């Protein structure tokens, strides 16, 4: 199926504007998710061979190591079909407390020769209220085929000094429906968002979210939600050390490394489009950061590795560097809808080997 996609369907999709093609893909996934008997059959066909061990991380069980990264299903409509495509988990969003249109179009651009994308979407989404209503109509935690992560970020209209309150509003509306919550403080496309990675601001945010999580868990019928932080690939090692210290202070459950990059390596130095670069050029930088985090924490902090996964080798590299799970998005644009299934099957049978030179 992926060969058919790469040789035929991708050519048709790539004749469309990048965002238009994305919207059609999400619509197709949304329609598939409504055909539950078909999804159930596809889930069975795409399961790993008998004897394959699930992945355990932050108190959750994942049927395989490959997830769909945030950014694909921004409106919480297509995720019910993720397991049918072979994913072991799915992360929706980024969702914000307020509905917002995002940045002006065009705002997403493909670079096929480099299997890359630049986007400046700007957290376009329908808002936490509508997402919560959609999630309430679907099976909740413990009743789904795969774990669901909910990625939340700052509303553009919220000033930086009100960011914590904005995240708390989204957390309160969405936590009931999530298997884990991811805090996005690293998108380059919302003004000032990355300043939340600064130590003082990050301590304020994580302190408030973890306190709200404890208060929520004290309520009858509620449970504590695993909290993960998604970081940028453009941080210095000293900045990463500060982030890891803050994560340890507040007992976060994991880290997602990494988001898109503002760097323009190699031939991208002459590209004038603003936004975050993803895809193959991000492979080495994200792997370096994963390896650094794993070595710094002694492997105690679960890592979801994201960035530059375009084949089984680059996916395995992330696990060898210290990731527990991986996520894909741009790679699926170039490899097709069953890319996750193929990666998961390969990763379930490979031998781990250390990554050297990072």
Question: Does residue 304 fall inside a structural domain?
Answer: yes
Q: Does 123 belong to an annotated binding site? A: yes
Classify 223 as helix, strand or coil.
coil
Q: Does 272 belong to an annotated binding site? A: no
Q: pLDDT tens for the chain, 358 residues: list them.
A: 777 898 899 999 999 999 999 999 999 999 999 999 999 999 999 999 888 999 999 999 999 999 999 999 999 999 999 999 999 999 999 999 999 999 999 999 999 999 999 999 999 999 999 999 999 999 999 899 999 999 999 999 999 999 999 999 999 999 999 999 999 999 999 999 999 999 999 999 999 999 999 999 999 999 999 999 999 999 999 999 999 999 999 999 999 999 999 999 999 999 999 999 999 999 999 999 999 999 999 999 999 999 999 999 999 999 999 999 999 999 999 999 999 999 999 999 887 666 555 5
Q: Name the residue with tokens 């329609």.
A: 31
β-pairing, 276-279 with 55-57?
unpaired
**So what's the pLDDT on residue 7?**
87
Q: Compute the Cα dihedral for 151, 299, 253, 348 and give only its sign.
A: positive
Residue 148 · residue 154 · CB < 8 Å: no
Q: Provide the number of structural domains found in the chain.
A: 1
Give the pLDDT confidence of 329-340 residue by residue, as tens digits. Answer: 999 999 999 999
Q: Is 186 a catalytic residue?
A: no
Q: Does 94 belong to an annotated binding site? A: yes
Q: Name the residue with tokens 């992560």.
A: 149
Q: Does 297 belong to an annotated binding site? A: no
Question: Does residue 186 fall inside a structural domain?
Answer: yes
Q: Does 70 belong to an annotated binding site? A: yes
Question: Does residue 354 fall inside a structural domain?
Answer: no
Residue 176 sits at φ, ψ, to 5 deg, of -60, -25
**Burial of residue 237 (number of CB atoms within 10 Å: 0-12, 13-18, 19+):** exposed
Q: Name the residue with tokens 């019910």.
A: 80
**So what's the pLDDT on residue 355?**
59
Question: Does residue 357 fall inside a structural domain?
Answer: no
Rg (CA), the chain: 19
Question: Does residue 19 fall inside a structural domain?
Answer: yes
**Inter-helix orientation angle 18-34/36-45, to 10°:** 100
**So what's the pLDDT on residue 195?**
98
First to last CA, the chain: 35
Question: Does residue 181 fall inside a structural domain?
Answer: yes
**So what's the pLDDT on residue 164?**
98
pTM of the full structure? 0.97
Give the pLDDT confidence of 300-344 residue by residue, as tens digits. Answer: 999 999 999 999 999 999 999 999 999 999 999 999 999 999 999
| Cis bond upstream, residue 94 (ω within 30) | yes
* Cβ partners under 8 Å of residue 166, min gap 6: 96, 97, 98, 154, 155, 158
Question: Does residue 194 fall inside a structural domain?
Answer: yes
Q: Does 259 belong to an annotated binding site? A: yes
Residue 33 · residue 132 · CB < 8 Å: no
Q: Does 73 belong to an annotated binding site? A: yes
Domain that holds residue 33: 2-349
**So what's the pLDDT on residue 357?**
52
Q: Among residues 187, 278, 286, 348, which one is catalytic?
A: 187
Residue 151 · residue 198 · CB < 8 Å: no
**So what's the pLDDT on residue 50?**
83
Question: Does residue 356 fall inside a structural domain?
Answer: no
Give the pLDDT confidence of 8-60 residue by residue, as tens digits. Answer: 999 999 999 999 999 999 999 999 999 999 999 999 999 998 889 999 999 99
* Cβ partners under 8 Å of residue 185, min gap 6: 153, 154, 193, 194, 196, 197, 202, 205, 229, 230, 231
Q: What is the CATH number of the domain that holds 327?
A: 3.20.20.70
Q: Does 184 belong to an annotated binding site? A: yes
**Burial of residue 151 (number of CB atoms within 10 Å: 0-12, 13-18, 19+):** buried
Distance of CA 296 to the CA centre of its chain: 22
Q: Does 64 belong to an annotated binding site? A: no
């Amino acid at each position: 199926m992926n060969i058919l996609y790469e040789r035929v369907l991708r050519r048709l999709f790539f004749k469309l504007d990048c965002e238009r093609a994305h919207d059609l893909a999400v619509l197709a996934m949304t329609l598939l998710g409504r055909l539950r008997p078909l999804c159930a059959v596809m889930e069975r066909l795409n399961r790993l061979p008998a004897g394959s061990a699930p992945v355990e991380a932050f108190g959750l069980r994942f049927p395989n190591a490959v997830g769909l990264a945030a950014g694909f299903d921004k409106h919480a409509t297509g995720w019910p079909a993720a397991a049918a495509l072979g994913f072991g988990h799915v992360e929706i969003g980024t969702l914000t407390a307020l509905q917002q249109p995002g940045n002006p179009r065009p705002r997403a651009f493909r670079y096929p020769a480099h299997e890359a994308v630049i986007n400046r979407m700007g957290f376009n989404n329908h808002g936490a209220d509508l997402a919560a209503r959609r999630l309430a109509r679907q099976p909740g935690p413990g009743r789904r085929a795969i774990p669901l992560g909910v990625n939340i970020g700052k509303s553009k209209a919220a000033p930086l000094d009100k960011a914590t309150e904005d995240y708390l509003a989204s957390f309160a509306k969405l936590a009931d429906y999530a298997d884990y919550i991811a805090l996005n403080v690293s998108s380059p496309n919302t003004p000032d968002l990355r300043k939340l990675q600064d130590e003082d601001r990050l301590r304020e945010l994580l302190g408030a979210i973890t306190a709200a999580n404890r208060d929520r868990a004290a309520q009858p019928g509620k449970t504590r939600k695993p909290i993960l932080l998604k970081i940028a690939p453009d941080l210095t090692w000293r900045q990463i050390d500060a982030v890891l210290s803050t994560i340890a202070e507040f007992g976060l459950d994991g880290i997602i490394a990494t988001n898109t990059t503002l760097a323009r390596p190699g031939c991208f130095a002459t590209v004038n489009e603003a936004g975050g670069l993803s895809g193959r050029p991000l492979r080495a930088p994200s792997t370096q950061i994963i390896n650094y985090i794993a070595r710094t924490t002694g492997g105690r902090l679960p890592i979801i590795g994201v960035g530059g996964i375009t084949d089984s080798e680059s996916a395995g590299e992330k696990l060898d560097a210290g990731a527990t799970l991986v996520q894909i998005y741009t790679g699926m644009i170039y490899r097709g809808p069953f890319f996750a299934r193929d990666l998961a099957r390969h990763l379930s049978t490979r031998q781990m080997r250390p990554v050297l030179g990072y």
